[in-house]
């Protein structure tokens, strides 16, 4: 995923886990967080990816997120979260991801 996104031009930073993600958004603003809800070890941590987005938005209100999930039941809930642009199901269709990124760039240019 990193090489695909980097080849399209934007700078890409990858956090190894959710805690590294919190550390990074504390130090730097991001336009977009690509949030994989499958990185958790158990289902009790399901909200952590959107908690990360919420935390980032407190510091930088324009930060947006795209959630990647293989849990179909979570899709409607994620779409109701403030700042979530899209929810993509695994396996991620690269064309759809690129389309969402282009839509974000268009909104930012306005």
Cβ(29)–Cβ(63) below 8 Å: yes
Q: 57: which residues sit within 8 A by CB, 6+ positions away?
A: 63, 82, 83
Q: Above 90 in pLDDT, residue 84? A: yes
Domains detected in the chain? 2-109 (3.40.50.2300)
Distance CA(88)–CA(65), nearest Å, equals: 11
Give the three-class secondary structure for 11.
coil
Strand partners for 35: 67
Taking only the tens place, the pLDDT of each residue in 48-79 is 788 999 999 999 999 999 999 887 777 888 88
State pTM to two decimals.
0.85
Cβ neighbourhood burial of 95 (10 Å; 0-12, 13-18, 19+): exposed
Q: Above 90 in pLDDT, residue 33? A: yes
């Amino acid at each position: 995923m990193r090489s695909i996104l980097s080849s399209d031009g934007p700078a890409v930073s990858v956090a190894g886990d959710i805690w590294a993600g919190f550390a990074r958004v504390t130090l730097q603003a991001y336009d977009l967080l690509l949030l994989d809800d499958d990185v958790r070890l158990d289902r009790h941590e399901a909200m952590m990816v959107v908690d990360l987005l919420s935390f980032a938005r407190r510091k930088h209100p324009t930060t947006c997120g795209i959630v990647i999930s293989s849990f179909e039941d979570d899709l409607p809930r994620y779409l109701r979260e403030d700042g979530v642009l899209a929810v993509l199901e695994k396996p991620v269709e690269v064309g759809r991801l690129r389309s969402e990124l282009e839509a974000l760039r268009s909104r930012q240019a306005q």
